[in-house]
Amino acid sequence: MDMIPSSLSPQAVEDKPLDIVGLLSRVHHPGAGAVVLFSGEVRDSNRGRPVAFLEYEAHIPLATAMIAEILATAKAKWALQVAVAQHRVGKVPVGDTAVVVITASAHRSEAYAANKYIIDRIKHEAPIWKCEHYTDGTKEWGNNCNCHTVTGDVSKHIYEGSE
């Protein structure tokens, strides 16, 4: 059983900044000797082009439900004490966090593996999309999952280094 405060939603897709330090401070667990936090942040360039900001869009009900399922699967697979994943939507400036994943477990190998599993599945499967807005005023929906070109099925994905 985790000790996440009841006011903290383990999964969230919201149009507001992510307070990763505040989030981390609220999810410590006495049974967890390892806590891993991944922060996906907005980079100032994409394929050599300077980026002004990103804009994220999501089907929020489907994305939230999918992240909840991903967290539940990860918690069961790695016996995690804590699993949290929150994604921001709307305009996100360079340097800000767009997605945060926190995992906690007795030992570090499980926390690392579970964290990678969660972010990989979110990036491949959750109905969330980013639009790159470049400094020259152009924009581009991009970096989509393209696993279907290999698997032949839009619901089947390839995860690097997965079991």
Q: Which is nearer to another protein, 1 or 154 (CB)?
A: 154
Query: Shortest Cβ distance from residue 101 to another protein (Å)?
Result: 9
Question: Hey, how many other C-beta atoms are within 10 angstroms of the C-beta on 63?
Answer: 22
Q: How far apart are CA 85 and CA 15, in angstroms?
A: 14
Q: Which residues bind another protein (CB under 8 A)?
A: 40, 56-59, 61-63, 65, 87, 98-99, 119, 122-131, 141-146, 148-149, 154-155
Q: Which is nearer to another protein, 75 or 116 (CB)?
A: 116
Q: Which is nearer to another protein, 4 or 63 (CB)?
A: 63
Q: How far apart are CA 1 and CA 9, in angstroms?
A: 15
In contact, 95 and 41? CB cutoff 8 Å: yes
Query: Shortest Cβ distance from residue 106 to another protein (Å)?
Result: 27
Helix axes 108-125, 60-78, angle to 10 degrees: 150
